[in-house]
Amino acid sequence: MFGARFDPNQGTGTAQPRAKVVLKRRRESTDSDSESESESEKPENDNQDDSDSDSDSDSEQSSSSNSSSSSSSSDSESSDSSDSSESSEATPDEDTEMADADPSQDQDTAMDEVVAEASQELAEMDEDSTENPEVSKHLSIFLKFHKSVQKPTENDLDSSDEEPQEPTQDLKPLPQPELPRDKRLSSTTTHLKNLDWLTEPIYSSTTNTKPFSEFALSPFMAKNLESLNFKEAFSVQIEVLSLLLNDISQNRIKPDLQGDLLVNASTGSGKTLAYLIPIIEDLSTRIVPRVRAIILVPTKPLINQVRATLASLSKGTNLLITSLKNDISIREEGSKLTANEPDIIISTPGRLVEHLLDGTISLKSLKYLVIDEADRLLNQSFQGWAKVVISKLEETKDISKEWKIAPKKLIFSATLTTDSGKLSALKFQQPRLVIINDRKQLVNEIFNVPAQLNEYKIQFGVAKASLKPLILAKFLINYGKLSNVLIFTKSNEASLRLSKLLQLLLTKIYPNRDFEVAYINSTNNKTSVRAKILKQFSTQKVNVLVATDLIARGIDILSITDIINYDLPNSSREYVHRVGRTARANQAGNAYNFCVGKGESKWFRTFMKDVGRGEKKIEDLEMDIKQIVTENDEDIYRDCLGELEKEVFNRADAKPSE
């Protein structure tokens, strides 16, 4: 409307003349309006003397005023045209000078002139705007133009910098106190890998030994240990005997609580002997039979093993030992317990809970509560046994009537749990922790294999998976593993099938020697059958024993030299208990792990991360399957599969007729 807007990219060639013309026209029109108003407002007394003049003079004045106004308008138009012609016309010399000059400097100089003149004109227009509504109508537009082209001065910049900024309200975390520099921060899951949050552990090397004769033992105990050919105590036995025998002597002087005991030691380290010796020593002087010690174990084989050891160590005393089994009814067993109250009870948690709820077992005189294989017992609820047993123990406390020492809880496991929730269910009092380890620090893993164990990994591709039983048989023959070998499988069916195939393969591949392969799983888990097979295995009448995880705990046969994981275990915990069947009592032992394909090899590396073995490493045992397994061996294997298939079908056909 009022001329071209200033464009910095295209210069001020058109903006400057047109801006001057517009401002000049507006100024002249304003001046002409003010002059006309001043003439029309002259005082009337100036014309009083000429009142008698006729109308002709009035007409002449009006005509003269019209002519003067027309002349003034023509003058303004001529001046505008002359200004525009002057601004639009330029000489050749001026064009040359403008071309030679710096365009950016010309633009800045021209712009400064326009801004200065526009500022002056706007100031004058601002003063006239109050009187002339035509001027105020467009004043806001000129003010916006003036602000857009005006350059900020140094004072304006300084004042803008000095203006205080309002505080912003961003979404951010609340300020936290500084972290302490004198403490080493740890992960929130660190406590799940150790037990240093429970108490300060007591460490002992796995190689420590000490003669039993150096302990303050009773003559009958020393004689019994010598008859069993136990001459030196192992590391776990040294620590436990030192603590518990000292507690017994201290309690005879002052009956104060010495604290519960948690022991983490690898399988085969002698944990059973470690807690049985002090218990028998303490109870051997009792007068009236009362239930003073309860030993909880997870399986029947462990019940038999603990009872046999107890019977051997308690010779020369009148202690009554009872093991609770499910061979008879609860009522019949309860009546026997009431008639002849024992001193020591060995049981599974479920059976004990039933008697506690029936009231056939009293815990008023209990002094020792032993939990062997604690990780397995705490992982399985067994009718909520921990809550029931601990609540029954607390019911017997009544300080107002009788003062007595609280029962001492003894916790033993090769894979001691670090779950605070499970451990808190036992309500420890002043707990003490013993860790049998070669390093003087608490390891991240509490899954430790025996120190004398050698571990091996045997890997072959999935293309040979169908020949896995044949590869196992050839491995046993070529490496001389023909006796005292315990093989673990993943299921009852796998153990049955593998035992039959091995018997057939070993007999045909190596016909010059007699082999006997047996199995143990839940299908033949009767006490008499299991005891017979284990006795034959210990005397080498059975050369190879195939079993499931059912006997991964509780078998204490020192003659076992080799463990073979034909099927990998489901966890590092089960692996530790499997390989713990060998390398017991500081004797050497070997563990071989069969890995078929990359999948099993990856799983093997995964659960091995949680197993502690000191500075030892797992060795890879290279086997050339093509050289070990010949075509003749494969033909024998196919024949054995055919015989096994016929035997299975014959049994299936014979069942309906029976």
CATH value at residue 587: 3.40.50.300
Would you say residue 87 lies in a domain? Answer: no
Using DSSP, state whether 210 is helix, strand or coil.
Answer: strand
Do 588 and 624 lie in a common domain? yes
Residue 316 belongs to what H/E stretch?
none
Would you say residue 155 lies in a domain? Answer: no
- Distance between CA 644 and CA 218 in Å, rounded? 58
Do 639 and 506 lie in a common domain? yes
- Distance between CA 627 and CA 576 in Å, rounded? 33
pLDDT for the residue numbered 225: 95
Percent helix, strand, coil in the chain, to 5, is 50, 10, 35
pLDDT of 151-163, one tens digit each? Answer: 555 555 555 455 5
Q: Which residues are registered as beta bridge partners of 210?
A: 233
Separation in Å, CA 361 to CA 31, 310, 515 = 124, 20, 48
- 113: its two tokens: 């002139």
Task: Give the lowest-confidence range in 56-60, 235-239, 614-618.
Answer: 56-60
**Domain closes at, from 417, 436, 455:** 436
pLDDT for the residue numbered 87: 41
Task: Give the lowest-confidence range in 113-127, 228-242, 290-304, 423-437.
Answer: 113-127
Would you say residue 83 lies in a domain? Answer: no
Would you say residue 104 lies in a domain? Answer: no
Distance of CA 38 to the CA centre of its chain: 96
pLDDT of 34-58, one tens digit each? Answer: 555 445 444 444 444 444 444 444 4
Do 453 and 432 lie in a common domain? no
Cα diameter, the chain: 171
Across the chain, mean pLDDT equals 78
The proportion of the chain whose per-residue pLDDT surpasses 70, expressed as a percent, equals: 69
Is residue 70's pLDDT more than 60? no
Task: Give the lowest-confidence range in 57-66, 173-182, 284-293, 411-420.
Answer: 57-66
Structural domain including 536 reads 447-648
pLDDT of 544-560, one tens digit each? Answer: 999 999 888 867 888 89
Do 527 and 565 lie in a common domain? yes
Pick the more confident residue, 187 or 606: 606
Do 332 and 476 lie in a common domain? no
Using DSSP, state whether 550 is helix, strand or coil.
Answer: helix
Residue 232 belongs to what H/E stretch?
strand 232-233
pLDDT for the residue numbered 51: 41
Would you say residue 349 lies in a domain? Answer: yes
**Domain closes at, from 383, 406, 436:** 436
Is residue 293's pLDDT more than 90? yes
**Domain closes at, from 383, 411, 436:** 436
Number of neighbours of residue 322 by Cβ within 10 angstroms: 18
Q: Which residues are registered as beta bridge partners of 11?
A: 7
pLDDT for the residue numbered 104: 52
Q: Cβ(129)–Cβ(139) under 8 Å?
A: yes
- Distance between CA 299 and CA 352 in Å, rounded? 13
Task: Give the lowest-confidence range in 153-157, 221-225, 429-433, 475-479.
Answer: 153-157
Would you say residue 323 lies in a domain? Answer: yes
Would you say residue 239 lies in a domain? Answer: yes
Q: How confident is the model at residue 347 (pLDDT cuts 50, 70, 90)?
A: very high
205-244 burial, b at 16+ Cβ within 10 Å, e below that, comes to ebeeeeebeebebeebbeebbeeeebeebbbbbbbbbbbb
pLDDT, average across residues 448-472: 92
Q: How confident is the model at residue 353 (pLDDT cuts 50, 70, 90)?
A: very high
pLDDT for the residue numbered 443: 40
Q: Cβ(465)–Cβ(517) under 8 Å?
A: no
For tokens 């007999």, the residue is 507
Using DSSP, state whether 369 is helix, strand or coil.
Answer: strand
pLDDT for the residue numbered 437: 81
Would you say residue 484 lies in a domain? Answer: yes
Do 215 and 313 lie in a common domain? yes
Pick the more confident residue, 438 or 405: 405
Q: Cβ(415)–Cβ(263) under 8 Å?
A: no
pLDDT for the residue numbered 313: 96
The dihedral through the CA atoms of 243, 249, 252, 254 has a sign that is negative
Do 221 and 271 lie in a common domain? yes
Domain count, the chain: 2
Do 430 and 472 lie in a common domain? no
- Distance between CA 197 and CA 191 in Å, rounded? 7
pLDDT, average across residues 653-658: 54
Q: How confident is the model at residue 27 (pLDDT cuts 50, 70, 90)?
A: low
Is residue 600's pLDDT more than 60? yes
Do 510 and 621 lie in a common domain? yes
Q: Cβ(577)–Cβ(553) under 8 Å?
A: yes
Task: Give the lowest-confidence range in 87-96, 313-322, 467-476, 610-619.
Answer: 87-96
- Distance between CA 572 and CA 455 in Å, rounded? 14
Do 467 and 393 lie in a common domain? no
pLDDT for the residue numbered 132: 56
Is residue 248's pLDDT more than 80? yes
Is residue 281's pLDDT more than 90? yes
pLDDT for the residue numbered 265: 86
Do 544 and 400 lie in a common domain? no
pLDDT, average across residues 624-635: 91
Task: Give the lowest-confidence range in 108-112, 545-549, 611-615.
Answer: 108-112
pLDDT, average across residues 437-448: 61
Separation in Å, CA 189 to CA 197, 418, 420, 430 = 12, 11, 12, 24
pLDDT, average across residues 267-277: 92
Do 209 and 311 lie in a common domain? yes
| CB-based contacts of 582, cutoff 8 Å, min separation 6 | 268, 450, 453, 486, 560, 561, 562, 563, 589, 590, 591
Q: Which residues are registered as beta bridge partners of 263?
A: 412, 434
| CB-based contacts of 110, cutoff 8 Å, min separation 6 | 11, 12, 16
